[in-house]
Chains A and B, each alone.
Chain A
C-alpha cells in the first residue's frame, strides 16, 4: 500500500474542531466530544451507540471521585 495515500477518515472540518475547543467546556468533555466525532467520521451504521458507551465507560473509570463530581455537576448545570 502506498504510504503517501491516506484515508478520507479523520477529516473533521477545522471549523467544527475549533468550535468545540472552547475554554468554557471542561477539557474532559472536549476529549469525549473529540472521540465521538471520530466515531461519526469513521463508522456508519447501528453499532455507534455501543462505541459511545465504551468511550463513556472508560472516561468515567479514569475520573478521580472529585473530578467525576465536578464534571457531572458541570453537565447538570449546562
Chain B
C-alpha cells in the first residue's frame, strides 16, 4: 500500500451549511504515523452533516438525495439563515476542501450555494439544490470552483466550468467508488445477515469492475439487432413481411409498455421505501428517537429471522403431511392385503400373470406368431409349457416378495405412533415459533408505541403523525408489489410471443441475399452479445476472487478470536461467509460481523490504484461493549498509512458501558490519534446559535 500515491483531504471549511452558521474550519491528519482524526459529537449535533458535506463538495451531489415529497426542512443551507432572510437579500453557503497528494496541496475545491429571497411567500416548495423544502419565495443557485496548480506556467489557476471540475475530481475519485472512501458505518450491521451483505457485495463488485458499462453494451447490441431485424423483415416484402414486421413491432411496443409499467412501479416502490426510511430517520433525530429506532431495527431483524424459520418449518410440516396422510388413509386396506398375501402364500395360489395367460392363449390358438402351425407332441409345445411353469413360479415368488415387501414398508411407515411422535414435535415447534413471533411482534408494537409518544425535534411533525405516514407507505407498497408481479408475469408471456415471431422471422430471411449486409451486422452483434455476457461473468468471477482474497487477508489478520476461523469465502452466489477448516459456516459475533464488513471495505480499497482517505460515519454504531472495543482496535491497528477520519458519538467514544473501557481508552495507547474534535454548541460573533468544532483536551 505504501507504494501507492496518496490522496488526502487536508482541510474542510464550512460556511453557513447545516447547523453550522458562519465560518468553521476543520483540519484532518496528513501524518502517516498518527493517521486517525476523530470527530465526536452528541447525536444530532452535525457529524453526519459534516460527512455528507464532504460528499457534496466532492461530487456536487447529495449523499442522500431527498424526494420532492420530503417533509424535511433541514437542507444544505443553514436553516436559521434561510428563515431570517429578508426580501432582496442573499445568504451564501459553501464548503471548501483542500485536497493533497504526497507532494502537498493538489486542489482546493469549493462548492457554493446562494439563496436569494425574491418575494414574501407563505408556502414551502421542495428545492433540489438545497435538498429540502424551502420558502416558496426563495431562489437558490449553485456554483463550483477548483483551484489547482498550473503545470505549464507554474502558480495556481482557477477553473469554474462545473463539468470539467466534476470530470477532474471523478477521474481520481470515481463516484461509483465513493463507498470505499466515504463509508456509511450504518452498513456494517448488514454483515450480520448474509442476505443484506450480499446486496452490498454485488453492488461493490459491480462498481469496482465498472460492469454496468458491459451491461449497457449487451443491452445496446440486443436493441440494435432488433432494430436491424425490423428493417430486414420489411425488406422481405409482401403482405406476410409487412404483417410480421408489424407483429414484431407490436410485441416490442407491448414489452416496452409493460417494462415501463414495471419500472414505474419499481420506482414507486423504491420511492415509498426511501420516504419510509426518511421518516424513520426523522424519528431518529433526537437521542431517544435514535435509541428506540435502533431497538426497532433489531426487533425487525429478529422478526425477519423468525419468519425465515417459520417458512422453513412450514415447508417441512407440509412435506411431512403430504408424505404421511396417504399412508394413514390406506393403512387398513394394506393390513388386510398383508393378511391376504399371507393366506395366498400358504395356499400357493397366486394369480397367474398376464405373461403366462398370454402363453395359454398362444397354445390354444395352435399357431405360432411366426405363422407356423403347432402339432401334437411338438417339442416347441412342451418347451412353451416349461416356460409357462417357470414364469408362473418366478411371478409367484417375485409377486409375493415384492408385494409383501412394499406393503410392510408402507405399513411400517404408516405406524400411527411414529407419525404421532413426529407430528407432535412439529406441532410443538409450530406453536413455539408462533408464540415467539407473537411476542416479538407485540414487543415491536410496544417499541412503535414508545416512539410515537416521544417528543419530536422542534419544528417537526409529531412522531404519531410520522408513524401513521410510514404505515400508510408500507401498506401502499403492498399494492405496488402486486402490480410489479403482474407486470412481470405479462412480460414473461410477451417474451414467449416474441420468441415465436422470431422463429417465423428466421424462416422468412433464411435465403435472403438482398439483405446480406444487415444479416452480417446481426451475426456480429449476436456474437458480441454472447461474448460480452460470458465476459461479464468472467470479470465478476475475477473480482469476486480478488475481493475474497483481500477480505480474507484483513479478516484473518484482524478479527477478534480469529483462530476460530479458517478463512473468509465469498460464494458464487455472493454470500460472504466466515468458515472453519471443513468449510462449515461459523456464526460470527456482532464484533466479528462488523470486522467482516470493515475487512470487505479495506479489501476492496486494496484493489484500487490509490491510497485514498477513508472517512467513516458511525463505525461503532449498533454495537456495544467489548464488540465495540474490538472494532476500534481493528481500525487503529490494521490500516497503517491510511488517512482515517471517524465520526463518532460521545456515548460510543468517551463513555463505555458499566465496568467497560471506553473506546477512547482503547485507541489512545495505539498512538495513532492525531487530533480529536468535538462538535459543540456555540455562538457566532453576532450571538446566533451555531455548531462549531472544538479540539478536545
Give the B-binding residues of A (Cβ under 8 A).
Answer: 1-9, 11-13, 15-16, 19-20, 25, 29, 32-33, 36-37, 39-41, 48-49, 52-53, 56-57, 59-60, 68, 71-72, 74-76, 78
Contacts and interface: CB of A to CB of B under 8 A. Distances in A.
B168 A53 contact: no
Among A12, A36, A72: residue with most chain B CB under 10 A: A36
Contacts of A72: 520, 523-524
A2 B159 contact: yes
Interface in B475-532: 517, 520-521, 523-528, 530-532
B220 A15 contact: no
Contacts of B224: 48-49, 52-53
B136 interface: no
- State the 8 A-B residue pairs at the shortest beta-carbon distance, nearest first: A13-B210, A75-B527, A49-B224, A8-B167, A52-B224, A56-B521, A5-B164, A78-B527
Given A2-B164, A60-B520, A72-B523, A8 B171 contact: yes
Contact of A68 (B151, B159, B165, B520): B520
B528 A32 contact: yes
Contact of B523 (A7, A11, A12, A76): A76
A20 B167 CA distance: 25
Given A1-B164, A75-B526, A15 B209 contact: yes
A12 B209 CA distance: 10
A52 B217 CA distance: 10
Contact of B530 (A33, A36, A56, A78): A78
B462 to A, nearest CB: 44
A71 B150 CA distance: 48
Nearest to B213: A40
B148 interface: yes
**Main SS of chain B's interface residues?**
helix
B524 A29 contact: yes
Contacts of A48: 220, 223-224
Interface stretch (B113-121, B344-352, B536-544): B536-544
Interface string B137-165: 00000000000101110000101010111
Given A56-B525, A60-B520, A16 B220 contact: no
Nearest to A39: B220
B81 interface: no
Among B157, B165, B171: residue with most chain A CB under 10 A: B171
B268 interface: no
B156 to A, nearest CB: 11
B524 A15 contact: no
Contacts of A25: 531
A78 B538 CA distance: 16
